[in-house]
Amino acid sequence: MTELLPLPAGFTTAGIRCGIKSDPQKLDLALFVSDRPCAAAGVFTTNLVCGAPVKVSRDRLPRSTARAVVINSGNSNAATGDHGISDAKRMTTLVAEQIGASSDDVLVASTGVIGRFLPMDVLEAGIPVAAKQLSETSESFLLAAQAMMTTDTFPKQATQSLRIGDKTIRISGACKGAAMIAPNMATMLCVIMTDAGLDQDQAGTMLRQSVRDSFNCISVDGHESTSDTVILLANSASGTVVNTPDECQMFQHALDEVAMKLATDIIRDAEGAHHFVELNVTGCRTREEAFRIAKAVADSPLVKTAICGADPNWGRIVSAAGYAGVPLLESDMTLAVNGFLLYQSGAPVEFDAKQVSTSLRDNRNVTIDLTLTHGLEMVRFWTCDLTKEYVELNADYTT
Amino acid sequence: MTELLPLPAGFTTAGIRCGIKSDPQKLDLALFVSDRPCAAAGVFTTNLVCGAPVKVSRDRLPRSTARAVVINSGNSNAATGDHGISDAKRMTTLVAEQIGASSDDVLVASTGVIGRFLPMDVLEAGIPVAAKQLSETSESFLLAAQAMMTTDTFPKQATQSLRIGDKTIRISGACKGAAMIAPNMATMLCVIMTDAGLDQDQAGTMLRQSVRDSFNCISVDGHESTSDTVILLANSASGTVVNTPDECQMFQHALDEVAMKLATDIIRDAEGAHHFVELNVTGCRTREEAFRIAKAVADSPLVKTAICGADPNWGRIVSAAGYAGVPLLESDMTLAVNGFLLYQSGAPVEFDAKQVSTSLRDNRNVTIDLTLTHGLEMVRFWTCDLTKEYVELNADYTT
């Protein structure tokens, strides 16, 4: 059962099948629309090879008059040159015509195969159909989340509400993930809507902060996507403006919670994964050093296959830390997996390999704690194991 | 059938089973000995978590009086602290006693599981046995190559001879690889012997040059090992000193050939690999930029699974180039796979997907040519695909 989550005030959504994907059962077009102008901000892939929709939406953000996001799945409109840019812009114009907005106030994102032109005929026909189905219901929000999915096995949504003064503010978001997931960011698309009042600078600052500790701390396979997009829309429909430092902190916290839930759902649904791995790298001089170590460990196929095989091969973890580009000595490191101490201050610890292996086998959730002696900075990072199913899923994606 | 290759003059080798590995069929101790002092140089892993043998051998190199290299497989003596250092030194002392040398003139390398102490009793007993079997025959060279193997499926050897003046110089080497292979370098151990006369500075310069274009240009899984070691021993037994620029160039070329053959054999025997991939990144501003792009492409699990599945998913290749940290535009890139043009100056090219897929399926050797418009520098890099067998082999290595 998928839980039904509410939309913030003033937002409507839709998810339909327009015919981009070959499977006739699958939805492939989502709309997120606000009934009034939104402060909007975005965070995008840093890959220099990026999709046309990334270029179009990045150019339009931040802004204070955004009205909608249109997303298609099944085709990423990436590596498609000027033709692709023109197709992405056309998608926003089609939406703008339906909702009575300027094209520039519509943002766009696409996910799917790289390097193929969008089938514009099905989008020309589909966008008006989707616009007619726009609704404020939880069911429509779920359909929109489903229409973003590629190899995801479940839709990913999150919501939080908070009280500021006598008003309730809501933040709701949807995302898709599955693979090509690496920091900055993932083939992940995410739309977060709130009925709070923010200005566009606030929206940008708060979104970057949330993304830093959520979507930028997940890795499935280390391959940085061409299409990663996170968009925040704030439409003020709650009648409450987030203003004082306290209110900002409360709002930031709620936004963090939404982003974290969505990001970890991506790892829970990572392609072919059997294990959900939380990696805590603590005791570092800087967050950046903690992050580098976490990313080196999380991206190592040898670490990921060991977890798949429930093999407490801790040498692979500490040796990945050794090539992270962070100055360190072996004796600076202590490692525990699922609470079992395996390596302390640079020396192996006697442990019951069978017991640790059983713990890895019986728990879908794995915790790796790598503690250094350098300082007080830390990072929490999420990844998954590397399985035969991952290879199967990715060995013939386009053919 | 394994070809039998000759040793250079003045060298003897041995390979025996002393009992480190659990499988009673497998050799696990190799000796490489010169009958006179050698100019010797080494190149080692840059991982800050490195094996005790790396620390011991690195401290002793370069030198002009080296006599031998001792290698065990089945246990890498890495992450073993001071205890491990003392065991590694003890191995060299045991060899030194047998051949009448100083311990400092013996080098050591180990490969296998990380984080376990060496079983010193079997090495105390085994090293004298191995020393008694030292021989100048091709058979003994093959046994030594076999005794270095871990998950390798075939021994890796190479030889070259060249004439300088009226004398013949020989260069022969052996290595092991299989997985945890990434630039700087691989869990790969390599010993290259020559009867040419070099001084220790020459040996170092020439070895680094050869390693740069061979062992540092291969990647199986991007996990940089704790134990990578390449050692060059030059004992002058041919009576010929490499001196003039012409002689140096000839020798360098022959050394490059030996290193290249050994490095590509590692990729041919990569764990679970179905495809041998040669990646040519050309048209770059600097070799370093070409190298970064090649490594990003070679390390991407999405590129590697696509090759496994014979899927001409070229978007994964150009998008990996996009996050290599090299400034570039999509329109700077042109891509061909197995000679089929797939992407030209930033735009997809019409191609027969079935034909390219068949070519990938029917050829074990895959060539990827990624051409940029930035300059004249290039790199050749070798990698393999990522298969279900790789996951299987690495999912339960220690348990």
User: What pLDDT score does A19 carry?
Assistant: 96
User: What pLDDT score does B222 carry?
Assistant: 64
User: What pLDDT score does B343 carry?
Assistant: 92
Chain B residues near residue A329 by CB distance under 8 angstroms? 48
- Comparing CB atoms, the residue among A308, A395, A396 nearest residue B395 is A308
- CA dist., res. A346 & res. B79, Å (int): 7
Query: For this structure, is A187 an active site residue?
Result: yes
Three-state DSSP state, A325:
coil
User: What pLDDT score does B236 carry?
Assistant: 97
Q: What is the mean pLDDT of residues A74-102?
A: 95
Question: Hey, where are the domains in chain B?
Answer: 11-268, 276-395
- Comparing CB atoms, the residue among B81, B299, B388 nearest residue A388 is B388
Beta-strand relationship, A377-384 and A218-219: parallel
Checking if the pLDDT of A183 tops 50, the result is no
Interface list for A 251-280 with B (CB within 8 A): none
Question: How many contacts, defined by CB atoms under 8 Å, are there between A and B?
Answer: 232
On whether any CB of chain B is under 8 Å from the CB of A298, the answer is: no
Q: What is the mean pLDDT of residues B118-123?
A: 97
- Comparing CB atoms, the residue among B49, B314, B316 nearest residue A319 is B49
Checking if the pLDDT of A399 tops 80, the result is no
Give the N- to C-terminal CA distance of chain A in Å, as an integer: 33
Q: How confident is the model at residue B148 (pLDDT cuts 50, 70, 90)?
A: very high
Chain A residues near residue B55 by CB distance under 8 angstroms? none
- Comparing CB atoms, the residue among A223, A310, A395 nearest residue B311 is A395
Checking if the pLDDT of B184 tops 50, the result is no
- Comparing CB atoms, the residue among A224, A318, A331 nearest residue B323 is A224
Contact B221 A318 (CB under 8 A): no
- CA dist., res. A117 & res. A29, Å (int): 16
Our CA-based measurement puts residue B225 at a distance from the nearest CA of chain A, in whole angstroms, of: 7
Our CA-based measurement puts residue A141 at a distance from the nearest CA of chain B, in whole angstroms, of: 31
The model's pLDDT over A355-396, given as tens digits with 9 standing for 90+, comes to 999 998 988 899 999 999 999 999 999 988 888 877 777 675
- Comparing CB atoms, the residue among A83, A311, A387 nearest residue B397 is A311
How many other C-beta atoms are found inside a 10 Å radius of the C-beta of residue A354?
Answer: 10
Handedness of CA B306, B312, B316, B320 (dihedral sign): positive
Mean pLDDT taken over chain A = 91
Contact B192, B258 (CB under 8 A): yes
Domain spanning B276-395 has what CATH number? 3.10.20.340
User: What pLDDT score does B194 carry?
Assistant: 97
Chain B residues near residue A320 by CB distance under 8 angstroms? 223
Measured CA to CA in angstroms, residue B48 lies from A320, B11, B222, B267 at distances of 9, 33, 16, 24
Contact B299 A222 (CB under 8 A): yes
Contact A49 B396 (CB under 8 A): no
Contact B224 A79 (CB under 8 A): no
The model's pLDDT over B257-282, given as tens digits with 9 standing for 90+, comes to 999 999 999 888 877 788 999 999 99
Could you say which of A187, A194, A229, A240 is catalytic?
A187
* B111 burial type by CB count under 10 A (0-12 exposed, 13-18 middle, 19+ buried): buried
Q: How confident is the model at residue B187 (pLDDT cuts 50, 70, 90)?
A: low
- CA dist., res. A335 & res. A345, Å (int): 9
- Comparing CB atoms, the residue among A80, A81, A391 nearest residue B388 is A391
Our CA-based measurement puts residue B324 at a distance from the nearest CA of chain A, in whole angstroms, of: 8
Residue of chain B nearest A77, judged by CA positions? B315
* B334 burial type by CB count under 10 A (0-12 exposed, 13-18 middle, 19+ buried): buried
Contact B300 A222 (CB under 8 A): yes
The model's pLDDT over B6-30, given as tens digits with 9 standing for 90+, comes to 999 999 999 999 999 989 999 999 9
Could you say which of 3.40.50.970, 1.10.10.10, 3.60.70.12, 3.40.50.1820 is the CATH number of the domain covering A11-268?
3.60.70.12
On whether any CB of chain B is under 8 Å from the CB of A174, the answer is: no
The model's pLDDT over B29-64, given as tens digits with 9 standing for 90+, comes to 999 999 999 999 999 988 888 899 999 999 999 999
Task: State which of A187-201, B95-109, B169-183 shows the largest mean pLDDT.
Answer: B95-109
Q: Which of B87, B391, B392, B396 is the mutation pick for testing A, counting most A CBs within 10 A?
A: B391
Chain A residues near residue B329 by CB distance under 8 angstroms? 48
Contact A319 B225 (CB under 8 A): yes
Q: Starting at the edge strand that comes first in sequence, how are the strands of the sheet with B365-371 ordered?
A: B218-219, B377-384, B276-284, B365-371, B334-337, B340-344, B347-348
How many other C-beta atoms are found inside a 10 Å radius of the C-beta of residue A242?
Answer: 25
On whether any CB of chain B is under 8 Å from the CB of A311, the answer is: yes
Contact B181, B221 (CB under 8 A): yes
Interface list for A 85-124 with B (CB within 8 A): 113-116
User: What pLDDT score does B299 carry?
Assistant: 87
On whether any CB of chain B is under 8 Å from the CB of A50, the answer is: yes
Chain A residues near residue B328 by CB distance under 8 angstroms? 48
Least confident of A148-162, A174-188, B205-219, B327-341: A174-188
- Could you tell me how far CA A179 lies from the centroid of its own chain? 11
- CA dist., res. B209 & res. A352, Å (int): 45
Find, among B18, B14, B59, the residue nearest to B40 by Cα.
Answer: B59
A285: which residues sit within 8 A by CB, 6+ positions away? A374, A375, A377
Checking if the pLDDT of A180 tops 60, the result is no
User: What pLDDT score does B253 carry?
Assistant: 95
User: What pLDDT score does A182 carry?
Assistant: 41
Contact B109, B187 (CB under 8 A): no
User: What pLDDT score does A185 carry?
Assistant: 35
Q: Which residue has the higher pLDDT, B369 or A217?
A: B369
Q: How confident is the model at residue B341 (pLDDT cuts 50, 70, 90)?
A: very high
User: What pLDDT score does B179 carry?
Assistant: 55
How many other C-beta atoms are found inside a 10 Å radius of the C-beta of residue A355?
Answer: 12
Checking if the pLDDT of B186 tops 50, the result is no
Checking if the pLDDT of B326 tops 90, the result is yes
On whether any CB of chain A is under 8 Å from the CB of B346, the answer is: yes
- CA dist., res. B344 & res. B371, Å (int): 9
Contact A47 B78 (CB under 8 A): no
Q: What is the mean pLDDT of residues A85-106?
A: 98
Contact B391 A396 (CB under 8 A): no
- CA dist., res. A157 & res. A283, Å (int): 33
Q: What is the mean pLDDT of residues B325-337?
A: 93
- For chain A, percent of residues with pLDDT exceeding 90: 69
User: What pLDDT score does A380 carry?
Assistant: 92
